[in-house]
Chains A and B, each alone.
Chain A
Amino acid sequence: MKELKILAVVVVLTLITYWGVEPFAHSQMHPHVEEPEYSFKDVDGLNGLTGNAEAGAVLVQSNCTACHSIESQGFPKLMDDASSAAAYGVVPPDLGTAGKLYNADFLAAFIKDPATATKTSHKFVDGKIHPMPGYSWMQPQEIADMVAYLQSIAPEEMTNKEVFTNACQRCHSIKYGDMQNGTMTAFTPVENIKSYMGKIPPDLSQYIRSRGASYLHEFINDPQKHLEGTAMPRVGLTQDAEEQVVAYMKEVGDSKADERAALGPKFLIYLVIFAIFAWLWKVKQWRDMH
């Protein structure tokens, strides 16, 4: 039938154009990178050592609590965020959740040499040093003990929002997370974070839409893959924690996704019914014409 032939031509031309400006253009403009890797094989981590949490408790409490709070274990913050950001360049994280959020091998490697583990050594040259001193002078077993302690005090379950707050919010705001009250503003004040990172880290409210979930997974897992030389550290999140971060970004940036998915099929069913009746009417009207 002639009309179907014409329709086929229109559809084919439309699809070729669509393919060219969407999938093809994207493949040209966004180079493919390797899949996220969550075992952090490249770092000098625990190397198979098993730690002793009790021994680790003593080590952590004597070495870390001068700067880091561990609120859940009775070590409160020593200063407010603004003061600690002024002192260290960035607000140091509370260590209560580190054992859950971060990969154990990564944590060990981070304690030994933060700049290398986070792939930010390019930032710390010309006398600049990472605000967290490295502990490579410790025995490997001691570091394993500290990691074991951090894991033993970490909560079993955390909400997506808690994961985001602990893992990202020291530097990043996500203002749509609590637009009215502004509690989702980055902990580190703007001037400090700007001088520490070189620029203000972006607000992440719409990143689920501007970057998309798969880019975010690749990026969070290893920021250097997509943005070579970026100041953002590789933070060493476990796969579960990273999924919770992206899930939170989706809750905040695309909060109506479920509503959309629920309403869509109903609209389409209605329109199919409309189209059927419209065709029947057309057939009736044109019956007399030929």
Chain B
Amino acid sequence: MAKFEKANSVGEWLDQRLNLTALNKVMMTEYWIPKNINFLWAMGVLLATTFGILVISGLFLMMYYKPDVNLAFDSVNYTIMQEVAYGWLFRHMHGVAASVVFLIIYIHMFTGIYYGSYKQGREMIWISGMLLFMTFSAAGFSGYMLPWGQMSYWAAMVITNLFGGIPVIGDALVVWIRGDFNVADATLTRFFMLHVFLLPIVIMGLIGLHFYTLRIPHVNNQDSDEVDFDAEAEKYLSGNKKESQVIPFWPVFISKDLAVLGIFLIFYFYLVFFHYNFAMDPVNFDPADNMVTPAHIYPEWYFLWSYEVLRGFFFDVGPVKAFDIGLAAFGFANAIFLLLPFLDRDTQILPAHKRPKFFIWFWILMVDLIVLTVYGKLPPTGINAWVGFFAATAFIILFLILPIITKSDAKKRGA
């Protein structure tokens, strides 16, 4: 055991036992970030804050929410929204944050893609991030069920039905997931458990992993410059702050994050108070009714692009059913981003504007995702169905040709 001496302060007492000074250095004051970053690098802190808001507002909601098909709707729309002091505030904060968190995740994700932050040594950052995205998606979906409104019920019906398309075990899997032959009380109760316990715990673990994956390769920067972090850190510590290419996480990096956070919170609370409707589908204010199907069933905006890939393939091809093609495409869409570091065959880390073909690829992908998102909400009839089909096909082709494009960019540079 280490030798302990009498401490002169609480801080010293803790320092002897927990080595807080060293921890503080590693985590904050000597955790080095490249200086050459823009506000897009603040998205991590924004996400952590939004997740914090979700957890805290969620705890308050859980105090009054009843996971029971007979009580759920009224416990949300009457008890929480009207009886509990400021219950409406917590619900709107939770609902809006659930939507906004995906906006920030997407910005975070496409920043990574644009600047090549998933490449050469940073694969684990990307993969852990994508796992976080998937877990957030599961948390978003399971949470959407809980108010037991019409869209909650039918979204759950449609999404759980998808698993029926899996060969051999499909039908049994659907029953296993629902805990019943139908979307019913058992489904609601287990989704409640997933939403308030299991998935948040997994998210917290993954956030820890995601942070850890940054420590060794360090974060990328605007020009994808390779930085010798040790040498630059030395410069900084010796007082040569202007010439050093790096800054410490605390207080320099975080000061910019907090400035960006200030702007973000104005935007976020503006939505909470004055524009919460965008995150609250009006159909979901009708109680769930298994006898009446809504005119249009669609998921929340952040799932629309992959939903549109799912239903974009609306006609059978020979013996293969449209549903099965769609399901395969849906599976592809949800897994392919995970493989991005291995699809990009460029030997160098460079931002998109220094890789001409990749640059075009990136913007086509952005446009395609927006088209998929918009058409994912519209009724899939007439011309809409065809737009969906072409956009879904384009999405798949984009990823199939990515290795060729990135290789060709590298070749042209003479690499």
Contacts and interface: CB of A to CB of B under 8 A. Distances in A.
B379 interface: yes
Interface in B209-268: 241-242, 247, 251-252, 255-256, 258-259, 261-263, 265-266
A283 B295 CA distance: 53
Given A28-B379, A256-B88, A288-B241, A271 B255 contact: no
A149 interface: no
Contact of A271 (B242, B266, B286, B374): B266
A14 B103 contact: yes
Given A21-B373, A268-B266, A281-B258, A212 B282 contact: yes
Contacts of A277: 262
A29 B38 contact: no
B242 A274 contact: no
Contacts of B321: none
Secondary structure dominating the interface of A: helix
Contacts of A50: none
A7 B82 contact: no
B39 A209 contact: no
Nearest to B281: A210
Interface in B360-381: 366, 370, 373-374, 377-379
Contact of B374 (A20, A212, A290): A20
A6 B374 contact: no
Given A6-B40, A210-B282, A285-B251, A275 B262 contact: yes
Contact of B262 (A207, A209, A264, A274): A274
B78 A205 contact: yes
Q: Pick from B81, B366, B379 the residue with the most CB of A within 10 Å.
A: B81
Interface residues of A, number: 53
Nearest to A269: B266
A65 interface: no
B273 A267 contact: yes
B15 to A, nearest CB: 26
B255 A25 contact: no
Given A21-B301, A21-B374, A179-B78, A271 B269 contact: yes
Nearest to B298: A25
Contacts of B82: 176, 255-256
A206 B81 CA distance: 11
Size class of the contact patch on chain B = 35 or more
A22 B274 contact: no
Interface in B84-116: 88-89, 92, 103, 107
Interface in A1-15: 2-3, 6-7, 10, 13-14
B296 interface: yes
Given A29-B378, A289-B247, 5 more contacts: A17-B373, A203-B287, A205-B77, A264-B274, A286-B255
B286 A278 contact: no
A89 B30 CA distance: 79
Given A14-B103, A268-B270, A275-B259, A289 B282 contact: no
A278 B259 contact: yes
Interface string A201-218: 011011101111000000
A282 interface: yes
A287 B73 CA distance: 53
5 contacts: A205-B77, A206-B77, A271-B262, A282-B256, A289-B242
B278 interface: yes
A88 interface: no
Contact of B39 (A3, A17, A268): A3
A261 B304 CA distance: 31
B373 A289 contact: no
Interface in B59-82: 74, 77-78, 81-82
B234 to A, nearest CB: 16
A255 B378 CA distance: 32
Interface string A180-209: 000000000000000000000011011101
A29 B378 CA distance: 7
Interface string A35-57: 00000000000000000000000
A268 B113 CA distance: 33
A29 B294 CA distance: 12
Nearest to A279: B259
B283 interface: yes
A32 interface: no
A133 B270 CA distance: 55
